Structure 1
Amino acid sequence: MYKNIIIAVDLSHGEAGKELIDRAKALIDDGGTVRLVHVLEDVPSYIAAELPRDLNDRRQAEAKVELGLLAKEVSGNVVSEVRTGAASSQIIQAAEDHGADLIMIASHRPGLSDYFIGSTAARVVRHAQCSVLIAR
């Protein structure tokens, strides 16, 4: 069905990522690519001044290791990538950069700002140029 799937993985909710990977296995064509993308939010400068200088490097390294472990669960062509910035815009940018035909993202339970789907998932749905599958 799909040749290039982006799975937005929030490493703080590991089970959701595993469920998305299981769904992707059923949707990917032979020879297709699954790309696991985790986005580290920027630390505001007024907070960053009080944190160790190498914190971002450590966060990035830890995220790469965790994504690598998740990637092992998928057979076939699996790539993992860690980006930094606003989650929704980085997920959309990853899809555009790699020519994705599907973005898969988990949604948390809604708050008042986005009643039906989570705010990151809502932004991805509104702005993505490809199909988006939201799992709850």
Structure 2
Amino acid sequence: MYGRIIVAVDLEHIEQGRALLERAATFLDEGGEIRLLHVLEDVPGYIAAELPSDISERRRAEAVVELRAMIDPKADIRIAYEVRRGAASGQILQAAEDSGAELIMIASHKPGLRDYFIGSTAARVIRHAKCSVLVER
């Protein structure tokens, strides 16, 4: 059905990410690729000033390890992973555009009060994506 799929993974909800990955495999064309994507949100400068200077690189390295652990080496499909920095919705959309993705898969969680004012990541991705989006609840 799809040749290139972006699976956006929030590592704080890794079980949802695993479920999305399994489902993505059922949508993938033969010879297609799934790209696991995790976005590290930027830390505000006033907080970053109090953190160790290498915290950003450590967070990225930890995310890479967790994404790699999600990939079954015996799987007969191409699965890549990527860690980006910035606003989650913008980076997901950019990754989809950069890779020519035909589908973005993202999990949705129970919205908090903050989401009602600024909108959730999933909602922003849906509004601005140039390809199909599947939101898993």
- Please say if residues 4 and 100 of structure 1, whose CA atoms lie closer than 8 Å, have aligned partners that are also in contact: yes
Task: Find the counterpart in structure 1 of residue 104 from structure 2.
Answer: 103
Identity of aligned residues (%): 63
Task: Find the counterpart in structure 1 of residue 94 from structure 2.
Answer: 93
- Please say if residues 114 and 122 of structure 1, whose CA atoms lie closer than 8 Å, have aligned partners that are also in contact: no
Task: Find the counterpart in structure 2 of residue 31 from structure 1.
Answer: 31
Q: Deviations over 1:16-70 (max 9, x none)?
A: 0011011111100110000000000001000000000000010000000000011
| Equivalent-residue separation in structure 2 for 1:51 and 1:104 (angstroms) | 33
Q: Where does structure 1 lack aligned partners over 5 or more consecutive residues?
A: none
Q: Deviations over 1:93-134 (max 9, x none)?
A: 00000000000000001234656xx70000000000000000
Task: Find the counterpart in structure 1 of residue 51 from structure 2.
Answer: 51
| Equivalent-residue separation in structure 1 for 2:113 and 2:46 (angstroms) | 28
Q: Where does structure 2 lack aligned partners over 5 or more consecutive residues?
A: none
- Please say if residues 36 and 71 of structure 1, whose CA atoms lie closer than 8 Å, have aligned partners that are also in contact: no
TM-score, normalised on structure 1?
0.94
Count of aligned pairs between the two proteins: 134
TM-score, normalised on structure 2?
0.93
Task: Find the counterpart in structure 2 of residue 81 from structure 1.
Answer: 82
In the TM superposition, structure 1's runs of 4+ consecutive aligned residues that sit over 3 Å from their partners are: 111-115
- Please say if residues 9 and 105 of structure 1, whose CA atoms lie closer than 8 Å, have aligned partners that are also in contact: yes
| Equivalent-residue separation in structure 2 for 1:3 and 1:83 (angstroms) | 22
User: CA shift at 1:76, angstroms?
Assistant: 1.0
| 1:10 to 1:51, Cα distance in 2 relative to 1, 3 A | same
One-letter amino acid of the structure 2 residue matched with residue 83 of structure 1: R
User: CA shift at 1:75, angstroms?
Assistant: 3.4
One-letter amino acid of the structure 2 residue matched with residue 134 of structure 1: V
| Equivalent-residue separation in structure 2 for 1:47 and 1:97 (angstroms) | 31
